[in-house]
Amino acid sequence: MEYREKYEEWLSDPYFDADTKAELKKIADDENEIKERFYKDLEFGTAGLRGVIGAGTNRLNIYTVRKATQGLANYILKKGMQDKGVAIAYDSRRMSPEFADEAALCLGANGIRAYVFESLRPTPELSYAVRELGCAAGINITASHNPPEYNGYKVYWEDGAQITPPHDKGIMDEVKAVTDYNTVKTMGLEEAKAAGLYKVIGAEIDDSYIAQLKTQVIHQDAIDAVKKELKIVYSPLHGTGNIPARRVLGELGFENVYVVKEQELPDGEFPTVSYPNPEAAEAFELGLKLAKEVDADLILATDPDADRLGVYVKDTKSGEYKVLTGNMSGCLLADYEIGQRLAVSGSLPEDGYLIKTIVTSNLADAIAKEYGVGLIEVLTGFKFIGQQILGFETSGKGQYLFGFEESYGCLIGTHARDKDAIVATMALCEAAAYYRTQGKTLWDAMLDLYEKYGYYKDAVQSITLKGIEGLQKIQEILETLRKNPPTEVGGYQVLKVRDYQDGTVKDLATNETGGTGLPKSNVLYYELTDDAWLCVRPSGTEPKVKFYYGIKGQSLEDADAKSEKLGKEVLAMIDQML
Q: Is 361 a catalytic residue?
A: no
Catalytic residue among 144, 329, 407, 521: 144
Distance CA 202, CA 479 (A): 48
User: Following DSSP, what letter does each residue of 247-259 receive, concatenated?
Assistant: HHHHHHT---EEE
Q: Where are the beta strands (DSSP E) in 480-523?
A: 488-489, 492-499, 504-507, 513-515
State residue 60 phi and psi, 5-degree precision: -90, 120
φ/ψ bin of 515: left (φ > 0), alpha (ψ from -120 to 50), beta (otherwise): beta
Distance CA 408, CA 171 (A): 28
Integer-rounded Cα radius of gyration of the chain: 24
Distance CA 102, CA 110 (A): 13
The size of the chain, in residues, is 578
SS (H, E, C) 154-208: EEEECCCCECCCCHHHHHHHHHHHCCCHHHCCCCCHHHHHHCCCEEEECHHHHHH
- The DSSP code for 212 is H
Q: Where are the beta strands (DSSP E) in 500-558?
A: 504-507, 513-515, 524-528, 533-538, 544-553
Alpha helices in 346-466 (DSSP H): 363-371, 383-395, 421-437, 442-453
Question: Are residues 13 and 7 in contact, defined by beta-carbon separation less than 8 angstroms?
Answer: no
Q: Estimate to the nearest angstrom the gap between the alpha carbon of 394 and the chain centroid.
A: 25
Distance CA 200, CA 209 (A): 17
Q: 194 exposed, middle or buried (CB, 10 Å; 0-12, 13-18, 19+)?
A: exposed
Q: Estimate to the nearest angstrom the gap between the alpha carbon of 517 and the chain centroid.
A: 23
User: Following DSSP, what letter does each residue of 445-458 receive, concatenated?
Assistant: HHHHHHHHH-EEEE
Nearest in space to 419 (alpha carbons), one of 303, 300, 307, 532: 307
CA distances from 546 to 114, 328, 464, 481, 549 (A): 37, 19, 9, 13, 10
Distance CA 555, CA 550 (A): 14
Helix, strand, or coil (residue 151): strand
Distance CA 545, CA 466 (A): 11
Helix, strand, or coil (residue 60): strand
Q: Which residues contact 483 (CB under 8 A, 6 or more apart)?
A: none
Distance CA 174, CA 177 (A): 5
Catalytic residue numbers? 144
